[in-house]
Structure 1
């Protein structure tokens, strides 16, 4: 059951990021239909994140209280309605309203999914399992890009959006009727007890302001700037600066997505391997993530110097793959700080990180617009800004983040018991 849950969470993330990224893939068509400037397009990209931080925390807190199945099911139904509602968009104001509402209801998905993984998997598999969920983002944002581009070209961008709404409804049906909330049979009793335990605001604020939580959040934030750039600006960058055709752009985006997924899954699995051997969070989690982010920042900065199309694709594969390692492991560090409120802790990380979504698109749009005819200089400045942020906060992350010893939850104990019983059943008795 846990692997099926993980598979559905993976596909849920695919849909989530396809919803985010299709706006970038359809950028040329949408800007042409509505006669939008670069500044206006930056506003469209930013609008998705205007309420994202608030609703991400609120939705994850509701999931801690009422359960992931109910909240995720509700979210998927709203995605369905909103994506079909795109068919009625006729002007820029409606496009912005749609993007704001989509951000409102998509914000809670990632922290809830991260915390749900922690219910089903033991600590020694958390890095790998969470990286599979994160990989869904890479697939949704980049790997399926050629398919989304083909749908946009064949049927128009509005129909392509509506088809993603249909995918959300299929996911809702499978998740609601074929999964369980938790591997622990006493889930209701556990939740009832948890509701009686209130968090003291002062203690909670001290925890959130601790060096471990604070610099994990800032490292996550720096990576979010890169995520937003990849989502909103990468397709246009590959067409206008690297001079790829629309089809080449689609395959380039897909290549970056596939290779980067393999990289951060591999690094996350390596982190799990180290943790299994030494149980040392600093060595297996913090140093691995910080080193990977630093390498990723250097590869990202290199595209401003070497702009050969082949090197740009290779460098962006490596930049995304190494930098994104914070995405599966960062939430694990935050959840470990307060396991009984795992959804809330993960949502603080993702919601604060997604403040980059408010600033990033507008900042990049303004830089490119100010550069005038020299678009390459504008894009290069935006890339160097992001690379600098990632490099600085990876160093601070390595210095100040010191996670406490992991607690073993009831869910994890149950998973271990299931593994032990499974080994007994599969063992051959000696006669």
Structure 2
């Protein structure tokens, strides 16, 4: 897919020569907060799991299914709105999304049972699916290509900041005023942000190529620093752009034939990276939905303590992603191919995460268990950028959006399955079900690591696609 270029008039406060300026950084700051609200919305049900189950008399399985409902329309909406962002004002799209997030909180905040909760989460998932790609596109349109790394990274860091900043405060609201009050707080936060965006937001003037986000809508906590796209240069040549924390480059690539999707999806690299990313996404889904409940019920943390401890794996994941970006960039600048720079580095992260999860039975005490869980889920949930950049490298430019979009559709099935599966484990085994869930996640991560080590080799599969 090739983006349709859009011409914008220079906005006030923007330097014609270099882009940026006061207005650009104001928009960037607003979009960082936008992503923070986005992930606060996602995490609130996990923080209130015990209260919601008691109030609505839900089994763990029913609660897991209510959270799985969030992902039913998530990817579909991400693809549809991401493509629309190539032709419509991103300011308008983002404003509509923010208002819809607030509206989605209202039915469950007013009252109702499981059906209302499920319907509101489905609606919220559809409204939030496009958030990350559209926010990235809106930010990067304010900066020329060579200056996009920092603003792109800041917006994606808003994902982690959303959990880190909101978890303690939302936990306090839940404990003192009830879980429905927390939904009202999030609805109000979304509306306040929408008012600020309506007044201060604007579309940038720089064209942005085919974004990873426009095709896949990847916006989980593990997505720190991920941005990939293609640009058409002034000479008519196509360049692949990667913006990945410290791994930033604009690389010329030869014109490639449009290989059919069936050949891309049958390649070992696409299969391997999709499988590895699926196992990583599984961990992220569990961090959002079940980790607070695990900390309270299995490890004995008080509700306010759990609201603070729950941020630990998100911090680990953010550091792992930034570290991975630096290592990958360093290797590729030295001529190391992406089989090792991406496939092996990503496989290494999954291996470490798997080892920590599988070591849980040997942990001595609550502190050691907490550390292992934080490291296991944080490291295991950090594969998203590897997946995005690898598939963007593999697929011809005209097929990148479809290849990435299909990968994401497969991967987000983990978000559908993981909450319900763990709910069933908790119903069947009580608090021991949480430990089983962590160990099962470790086994999945080990399979993902094997796939990343053995199957991912873009250079080999590009030769086969172009042959």
**What TM-score do the two structures reach when normalised by structure 2?**
0.74
Which one of 356, 360, 383 corresponds to residue 438 of structure 2?
383
Contact 1:297/1:319 (<8 A) preserved? yes
* CA RMSD after TM alignment: 3.4
Correspondences of 1:77-92 after superposition (within 5 Å): 77-92=99-114
Residue 323 (structure 1) aligned to one of 380, 385, 389: 380
Q: Determine which structure has the larger helix proportion and give its number.
A: 1
Determine which of 278, 288, 293 is the counterpart of 1:231: 288
CA distance in 2, matches of 1:239, 1:121: 47
Q: Give 1:109's match in structure 2, choosing from 113, 127, 131.
A: 131
Matched, 1:370 2:419: no
In the superposition, relative to structure 1, how do residues 273 and 201 fare at CA in structure 2: closer, same or farther (>3 Å)? Answer: closer
Distance 1:367 1:93 in 2: 22
Structure 1 residue 98: deviation in Å?
Answer: 0.5
Deviations 1:55-96 (A, max 9, x none): 233232323443644433322221121123433232221111
- The correspondence for 1:254, drawn from 300, 311, 327, is 311
State the Cα distance separating 1:237 from its structure 2 match.
0.7
CA deviations 1:361-388 (Å, max 9, x no partner) are 11111112122xx521x22222222111
Deviation per CA, 1:74-123, whole angstroms, max 9, x where unpaired?
Answer: 22221121123433232221111101111112122234446667775859
Residues 6-65 of structure 1 show CA distances to partners (whole Å, capped at 9, x for unaligned) of: 544443332222111100111122112212122221221211122223323323232344
Match of residue 212 from structure 1: 269
Paired position in structure 1 for 2:458: 403
Residues 91, 201 of structure 2: 8 Å contact kept: no
Q: 1:256·1:313 contact (CA, 8 Å) conserved in 2?
A: no
2:331 corresponds to 1:274: yes
**Equivalent residue for 2:70?**
48
Residue in structure 2 matching 1:180, options 199, 203, 208: 203
Taking structure 1 as reference, are residues 179 and 266 closer, same or farther at Cα in structure 2, changes over 3 Å only? farther
Q: Which structure 2 segments of 5+ residues have no match?
A: 1-19, 211-231, 237-256, 461-467
How many residues are paired up? Answer: 392
Match of 1:93 among 93, 109, 115: 115
Does structure 2 conserve the Cα–Cα contact (< 8 Å) formed by 1:16 and 1:140? yes
- Larger relative contact order (CA 8 Å, sep ≥ 6): 1
Q: 1:114 to 1:218 in 2, by over 3 A?
A: farther
Instruction: For residue 137 of structure 1, report the CA deviation from its aligned partner.
Output: 2.8
Query: Which position in structure 1 is the counterpart of 2:52?
Result: 30
2-side partners of 1:181 and 1:153: how far apart? Answer: 42
